Amino acid sequence: MTTMPAVGTLTELFSRSVERYPDRPAVSDDTRTLTYAQLDRESDAVSALLRSHGVGTEDRVGLYVSRSVDLFVAVLGILKSGAAYVAVDTRYPDTRRDLMLSRSGAKAILTEAGWEDRLSALSATVIPLADRAGFDGTPSEGIVEPSSAASVLFTSGSSGEPKAIVLEHRNLVSFARNPSLPTLEPEDRTGQISSVSFDAFHFEIWSTFAHGAQSVVLPPVPDLLAADFQRQMKKYGITAMLVPTMVVNHVVREDRDAFSSLRILQAGGDVILPSACRALLTGQFKGSLYNLYGPAEITTACTAHRVTLEDAESDVIPIGRPLDGVSVRILSPELQPVPVGEIGELFVSGPGVARGYQDRADLTDERFLTLPAENGDARLYRTGDLVREREDGVLVFVGRADNQVKIRGYRVEPGEVERGLRRYPEVQEAVVLPDGEGNDRRLVAFVVIEDALSVKELRERAEKDLPDFMVPSQFIVQSQIPATAHGKRDLDALRALLAKHLEREEAYAAPQTDTERFLVSLWENLLSTERVGRDEDFFGLGGHSLLAFRMHHRINRELGVSLKFPVLLDNTVLKDLAAAIDASREGTETA
């Protein structure tokens, strides 16, 4: 392990770039661009606005702002006030948003003008970001130390409730300036696609600002896909990105040259497919491809691996070596080191290890351990991930040691989904299991429900109350949940039931037209399933937005039609979509 220099605070990191590059663009979206000096001035006004409402050091401020230049202004303003920002995705259901903001203890919430009513049920002071106009030119900064809280991120919890991870300034600065990661240049333009609640955002803002580069707020990924991803990257002049692994895996399946304009492409958040790497590295992409690994509790990444074509020809892409300043241990269940080549649980120490979970000392003590080290004790985060070390010191990810799973790049505890379903009075019992592998990973819910509640109604409720990645792709109704001899839920019996359920063919309706037969073949390929009938619903079979865009792309390319994406979303049953495609051929499609 090497020792990193003193890292300071995020506000200091930003101020250094303001001094060096005052007139260089710092952030832009489709409507405006701010230089470093302009961003500094606008965020000063936000800081003064917050401090006028009594916000100060270590306070929590909810951040409920859409992806835009204003999001960056708000984040910096919160940090300058001395507070920490509580990241909330504006697409989250109201119930989850309110739970996060309440649990965080937010003293105030920054939001967009006109959104105040959405947050009226909360006790925190709601402050429109536009109110900063009255504080222009009046900088007011709170006391900020490297150990001060900077960000509160929520992740899924096994108890059925989300956990609030507290990251400190020093955690984020150590990531942004880590010499083991590819170095950005002031001329670089990083593509901003992540939600503020997803830890890839740390690269898009802090790594960018640490090097005087420009962060470009891009349209949502589905829009980029629909408009030709490669063309959009060139249009915006993007040279570097940290992209959710699932997005990389899906995008390069359709266009292996989608990222060809980038000189740096980092993938993180899930398992990157060798086939995706192979497609990238044998196409027009001539930049550097990195596979990053790291839970949010250790600040985005703790290991990195530059992927080679040799790696891509193997059956697994390594997660690499520890970053500068990071130390890892691979331990047995008894917390003893395992020999090289054997599988063990990964423990991580270093400057990126978070403070812990807010208001959860018990859980913090369980996951953040103090163990003996060469130079005294070391504080380590227990990842729950199983890895093995190769003879050359490179780490390979094997799987999870607990029940937590990755769904489309997001960490999900099935227990949290179960608890969400059990909130409905008509649901007597619910057991949620993961099914499938990699990009095809999905959740299946076994439920015992009253006759008054249909599966359709249950799905609609879940879609309103849970993030889309936590909504089960399939609901299987049971009269009772099978139990073992010891009275515990018999998960093996449920998995057997799932296998039988997937084999059922009673409701199968064969395709009747050439277009329906084309869609059957396409869906079976995209969804990794068999015997799709004409009455099946794409999303009911486990489809999601990225797969929908891949389907849209292939329909237009292979059938030579110009089907609009909203039409596809309005016709998710196979026979209805086939009819819409046939109508588009006749020129009768409506947007």
Tens-digit pLDDT profile for residues 271-288: 888 889 999 999 999 999
Among candidate residues 125, 151, 170, the one where a domain is terminated: 170
| CA–CA dist 256, 274 (Å, integer) | 13
pLDDT surpasses 90 at 158: no
pLDDT surpasses 90 at 506: no
The verdict on 528 and 491 lying in the same domain is no
User: Where is pLDDT greater, at 172 or 536?
Assistant: 172
The verdict on 412 and 494 lying in the same domain is yes
pLDDT surpasses 70 at 538: yes
The answer to the question of residue 314 being in a domain is no
The answer to the question of residue 153 being in a domain is yes
pLDDT surpasses 80 at 169: yes
The answer to the question of residue 85 being in a domain is yes
The answer to the question of residue 565 being in a domain is yes
Any bridge partners for residue 165, and if so which? 153, 357
pLDDT value, residue 536: 87
SS (H, E, C) 465-527: HCCHHHCCCEEEECCCCCECCCCCECHHHHHHHHHHHHHCCCCCCCCCCHHHHHHHHHHHHHH
Picking from 69-83, 92-106, 498-512, which range would have the lowest pLDDT averaged per residue?
498-512
The verdict on 140 and 45 lying in the same domain is yes
The answer to the question of residue 142 being in a domain is yes
The verdict on 525 and 484 lying in the same domain is no
Tell me what the mean pLDDT of segment 321-343 comes to: 96
Among candidate residues 503, 538, 572, the one where a domain is terminated: 503
Share of the chain above pLDDT 70, in %: 95
Spell out the residues 6+ positions from residue 207 whose beta carbon is closer than 8 angstroms to its own.
Answer: 175, 176, 181, 184, 190, 242
Q: Give me the domain span that covers residue 433.
A: 405-503
The closest alpha carbon to 328, from 378, 364, 366, 365, belongs to 378
pLDDT value, residue 585: 86
* Domain CATH code at residue 444: 3.30.300.30
The verdict on 575 and 468 lying in the same domain is no
For the chain, the average pLDDT equals 90
Six-digit token string for 189 = 């333009």
Alpha helix segments (H runs only) across 81-125: 94-104
The answer to the question of residue 297 being in a domain is no
Six-digit token string for 295 = 């839970």
| CA–CA dist 115, 130 (Å, integer) | 11
Tell me what the mean pLDDT of segment 85-97 comes to: 92
The answer to the question of residue 293 being in a domain is no
Share of the chain above pLDDT 90, in %: 66
| CA–CA dist 509, 279 (Å, integer) | 36
Supply the Cα-derived Rg of the chain in whole angstroms. Answer: 24
Q: Rounded to 5 degrees, what angle do the CA atoms 212, 216, 220 make?
A: 150
In the block, residue with structure tokens 């990222």? 259
pLDDT surpasses 70 at 504: no
The closest alpha carbon to 430, from 160, 141, 44, 63, belongs to 160
pLDDT surpasses 70 at 488: no
User: Is residue 195 within a helix (H) or strand (E), and if so which, with residue range?
Assistant: none
DSSP letter for 330, please.
E
The answer to the question of residue 431 being in a domain is yes
In the block, residue with structure tokens 């220099």? 5
Tell me what the mean pLDDT of segment 373-377 comes to: 80
Six-digit token string for 443 = 């959740």
| CA–CA dist 246, 238 (Å, integer) | 19
The verdict on 539 and 471 lying in the same domain is no
Tell me what the mean pLDDT of segment 340-363 comes to: 96
Among candidate residues 170, 198, 217, the one where a domain is terminated: 170
* Domain CATH code at residue 536: 1.10.1200.10
Q: Is the dihedral of CA 132, 136, 141, 147 positive or negative?
A: positive
The verdict on 543 and 419 lying in the same domain is no
pLDDT value, residue 589: 45
The closest alpha carbon to 536, from 576, 580, 573, 578, belongs to 573
The verdict on 412 and 492 lying in the same domain is yes
pLDDT value, residue 363: 95
Determine contact, residues 407/432, Cβ cutoff 8 Å: no
For residue 389, how many other CB atoms are within 10 A of its CB?
20
pLDDT surpasses 70 at 74: yes
* Domain CATH code at residue 114: 3.40.50.980
The verdict on 472 and 530 lying in the same domain is no
Tally of structural domains, the chain: 3
| CA–CA dist 318, 387 (Å, integer) | 10
Tell me what the mean pLDDT of segment 78-101 comes to: 94
Report pTM.
0.82
Rounded to the nearest 10 degrees, the angle between the axes of helix 455-465 and helix 94-104 is 40
The verdict on 71 and 159 lying in the same domain is yes
pLDDT grade for 528, boundaries at 50, 70 and 90: low
pLDDT value, residue 403: 75
Tell me what the mean pLDDT of segment 112-134 comes to: 95
State pLDDT tens for residues 191-244.
Answer: 999 989 988 999 999 999 999 999 999 998 888 887 889 999 999 999 999 998
pLDDT surpasses 70 at 351: yes
The b-or-e profile of 239-272 (16+ CB within 10 A means b, else e) is bbbbbbbbbbbbbbbebbebbbbbebbbbbbbbb
DSSP letter for 374, please.
T
The verdict on 33 and 164 lying in the same domain is yes
pLDDT value, residue 157: 66
User: Is residue 218 within a helix (H) or strand (E), and if so which, with residue range?
Assistant: none
The closest alpha carbon to 550, from 250, 277, 274, belongs to 250
The verdict on 441 and 480 lying in the same domain is yes
Picking from 128-142, 312-326, 457-471, which range would have the lowest pLDDT averaged per residue?
128-142
In the block, residue with structure tokens 């054997």? 342
Six-digit token string for 401 = 């040691």
| CA–CA dist 419, 404 (Å, integer) | 15
Centroid of chain to Cα 583? 37
